[in-house]
């Protein structure tokens, strides 16, 4: 197979939260490589090409500066998927791999239809040999399926499939891409496979120290991505489970987290109790892991990981329930303000945000919810709640409201629920907010980010997670 010594052209399929920022960084660090990101979604591509850098489809601190530097030089965004794939030497598949919503594996397995259609398109249009990189998170053994599709082209073109999962977290994507803990590259342990691994390693070596580039066999790489997310989510569910015990006993979950995190074997990160983890990946990837374990007959393993999700659902319900109980089990006609709708700070992404589920529960009790989020749009918020199909869109618009500024969103409220840990929430004029609320004025801090002592001094009833 023809594998160039130095890759000069890359095409990435999927201009989403991973494809966009990842390719922007590769283009910035490797000016000698032409990087084209393609997507079927024309509106998304138009926004990636927008002159207004505040209109990029992904909000990430530092992203617009990188795009400004590389776009038009060696970074391009296009809807011409087939044309761009023809001659690219390396192709990244960064398409979405959501949980299946139909058929076999419904609600558990990863839906690989976008991976498969990408592979078919590559097979159809490829005119030169290519390295195909799985950047999306996929079940173990996906490379086998991709290989099968690619090997049926009849045009003599050869392929090497690599697994190169992405570990960036949203909100810190640029920082993570600039300085990753490690880059994982798995490939076939054959001469061509090893040369392909080297070609991709060379790209990362432009800015990442060699000892952080980990080369493995392809199955280890595919599986490690699911396992990394499962372990991270497990830590959150572990501390959230303990937060419930803290609520009953007078222990303080932040103090417990600090005490255990100082043990170097445990470590301090990912021990922040919260209203529950959200985001497009943790739940989907654990469900996928559970499904894979089940499909190999490993029921105990599947049950073990399923409980991470069970505790996460429990935590969201527990948080909503504490609001309902504190307000005398009657929310009808009461205004409840939500600070935050995004699944974490510094992103406009709302996929699987705890906010959606907490709002849904409170709306069943006929609460009037007013949401303020610095980066999430009103349209996005309504799409999220309509997607659940608990109520009609008209009813959703009766109970869910969007505040253009935080002070209006909280004015006249009976309670405030802090859902996202945006830094700016800490700097609000809490005395002014208290003065304009119904009394008693409640704060439910789902992130433990506010100064609870100060708030109590003002007169708030503070209800925090695990405090």
CB of 21 or CB of 105, closer to ligand UGA? 21
Buried b / exposed e over 88-126, threshold 16 CB at 10 Å, is bbbbbbbbbbebbeeeebeebbbbbebbeebbebbbebb
From edge to edge, which strands make up the β-sheet containing 368-372? Answer: 400-402, 368-372, 335-339, 415-418, 442-445, 461-464
Residue closest to ligand NAD when measured from CB atoms: 16
Determine if 278 is a binding residue for ligand UGA (CB under 6 A).
Answer: yes
Considering only 60, 166, 360, 384, the residue that binds ligand UGA (CB under 6 A) is 166
Determine if 344 is a binding residue for ligand UGA (CB under 6 A).
Answer: yes
Q: Which of ligand UGA, ligand NAD, none interacts with 274 (beta carbon under 5 to 8 A by kind)? A: ligand UGA
Determine if 126 is a binding residue for ligand NAD (CB under 6 A).
Answer: no
Considering only 3, 24, 33, 44, the residue that binds ligand NAD (CB under 6 A) is 44
Q: What is the rounded distance in angstroms from the CA atom of residue 168 to the CA atom of residue 170?
A: 7
CB of 82 or CB of 181, closer to ligand UGA? 181
Find the binding residues for ligand NAD in span 339-368 (CB under 6 A). Answer: none
Determine if 166 is a binding residue for ligand NAD (CB under 6 A).
Answer: yes
Whether residue 143 contacts residue 220, with contact meaning beta carbons closer than 8 Å, is answered with no
Determine if 343 is a binding residue for ligand UGA (CB under 6 A).
Answer: yes
The conformation of residue 359, written as its DSSP 8-state character, comes to H
Q: Which listed residue (12, 30, 246, 281) is catalytic?
A: 281
Considering only 18, 199, 200, 233, the residue that binds ligand NAD (CB under 6 A) is 18
- 3 state DSSP class of 456: helix
Active site residue 281: yes
Residue 305 CB, nearest approach to ligand UGA (Å): 15
Q: What is the rounded distance in angstroms from the CA atom of residue 237 to the CA atom of residue 82?
A: 43
- Could you count the other beta carbons within 10 Å of the beta carbon of residue 80? 12
CB of 138 or CB of 385, closer to ligand UGA? 138
Considering only 1, 8, 9, 40, the residue that binds ligand NAD (CB under 6 A) is 40
Q: What torsion, rounded to 10 degrees, do the Cα atoms 368, 376, 449, 276 define?
A: 80
Helix 299-326 to helix 282-295 angle (10° resolution) is 150
Determine if 277 is a binding residue for ligand UGA (CB under 6 A).
Answer: yes
DSSP character string of 275-304: S---SSSHHHHHHHHHHHHHHTT-HHHHHH
- 3 state DSSP class of 385: helix
x-marked contacts with ligand NAD along 391-430 as a string, rule CB under 6 A: ----------------------------------------
Which of 142, 168, 278 shows the shortest CA–CA distance to 223?
Answer: 142
Angle at 311 between CA 95 and CA 98, to 5 degrees: 15
Q: Is 262 exposed, middle or buried (0-12, 13-18, 19+ CB in 10 A)?
A: exposed
Q: Is 308 exposed, middle or buried (0-12, 13-18, 19+ CB in 10 A)?
A: buried
Residue 463 CB, nearest approach to ligand NAD (Å): 31
Size of site (CB under 6 A) for ligand NAD: 27
Considering only 50, 78, 117, 238, the residue that binds ligand NAD (CB under 6 A) is 117
Determine if 139 is a binding residue for ligand UGA (CB under 6 A).
Answer: no
Q: Which of ligand NAD, ligand UGA, none interacts with 232 (beta carbon under 5 to 8 A by kind)? A: ligand UGA
Measure the N-to-C terminal CA separation of the chain; round to a whole number of Å: 61
Residues 6 or more apart whose Cβ sits within 8 Å of residue 169: 176
Determine if 169 is a binding residue for ligand UGA (CB under 6 A).
Answer: yes
CB of 96 or CB of 201, closer to ligand NAD? 96
CB of 44 or CB of 71, closer to ligand NAD? 44
What are 162's strand-pairing partners?
A: 133
Residue 172 CB, nearest approach to ligand NAD (Å): 10
Find the binding residues for ligand UGA in span 297-326 (CB under 6 A). Answer: none
Determine if 227 is a binding residue for ligand NAD (CB under 6 A).
Answer: no
CB of 279 or CB of 466, closer to ligand UGA? 279
Determine if 137 is a binding residue for ligand NAD (CB under 6 A).
Answer: yes
Binding site for ligand UGA (CB under 6 A): 137, 166-170, 229, 232, 236, 270-272, 274, 277-279, 281-282, 343-344
Annotated catalytic residues are 281
Binding site for ligand NAD (CB under 6 A): 13-19, 38-41, 44, 81, 94-97, 114, 117-118, 136-137, 166, 168, 170, 280-281
């Amino acid at each position: 197979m023809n594998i160039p010594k130095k890759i000069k052209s890359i095409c990435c399929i999927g201009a989403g939260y991973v494809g966009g920022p990842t390719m922007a960084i590769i283009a910035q660090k490797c000016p000698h490589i032409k990087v084209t990101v393609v997507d079927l979604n024309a509106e998304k591509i138009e926004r990636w090409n927008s002159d207004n850098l505040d209109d990029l489809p992904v909000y990430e601190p530092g992203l617009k500066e990188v795009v400004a530097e590389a776009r038009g030089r060696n970074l391009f965004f296009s809807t011409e998927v087939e044309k761009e794939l023809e001659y690219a030497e390396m192709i990244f598949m960064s398409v979405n791999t959501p949980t299946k919503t139909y058929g076999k594996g419904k609600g558990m397995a990863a839906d690989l239809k976008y991976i498969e259609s990408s592979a078919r398109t590559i097979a159809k249009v490829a005119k030169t040999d290519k390295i195909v990189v799985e950047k999306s998170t996929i079940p173990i053994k996906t490379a086998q399926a991709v290989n099968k599709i690619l090997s049926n082209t009849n045009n003599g073109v050869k392929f090497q499939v690599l697994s190169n999962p992405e570990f960036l977290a949203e909100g810190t994507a640029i920082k993570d891409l600039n300085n990753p803990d490690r880059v994982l590259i798995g490939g076939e342990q054959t001469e061509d496979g090893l040369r392909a691994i080297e070609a991709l390693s060379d790209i990362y070596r432009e800015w990442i120290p060699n000892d952080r580039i980990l080369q493995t066999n392809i199955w280890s790489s595919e599986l490690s991505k699911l396992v990394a997310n499962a372990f991270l989510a497990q830590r959150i569910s572990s501390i959230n489970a303990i937060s419930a015990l803290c609520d009953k006993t007078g222990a303080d979950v932040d103090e417990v987290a600090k005490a255990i995190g100082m043990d170097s074997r445990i470590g301090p990160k990912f021990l922040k109790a919260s209203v529950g983890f959200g985001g497009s990946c943790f739940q989907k990837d654990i469900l996928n892991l559970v499904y894979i374990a089940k499909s190999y007959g490993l029921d105990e393993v599947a049950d073990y990981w399923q409980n991470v999700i069970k505790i996460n659902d429990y935590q969201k319900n527990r948080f909503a329930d504490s609001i309902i109980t504190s307000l005398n089990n009657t929310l009808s006609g009461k205004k409840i303000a939500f600070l935050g709708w995004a699944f974490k700070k510094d992103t406009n992404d709302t996929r699987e945000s705890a906010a959606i589920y907490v709002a849904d529960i409170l709306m069943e009790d006929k609460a009037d919810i007013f949401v303020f989020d610095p980066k999430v749009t009103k349209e996005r918020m309504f799409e999220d709640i309509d997607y659940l199909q608990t109520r009609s869109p008209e009813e959703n618009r009766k109970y869910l409201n969007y505040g253009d500024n935080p002070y209006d969103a909280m004015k006249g409220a009976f309670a405030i629920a802090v859902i996202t840990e945006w830094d700016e929430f800490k700097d609000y004029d809490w005395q002014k907010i208290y003065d304009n609320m119904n009394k008693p004025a409640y704060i439910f801090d789902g992130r433990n980010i506010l100064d609870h002592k100060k708030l109590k001094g003002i007169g708030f009833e503070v209800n925090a997670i695990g405090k």
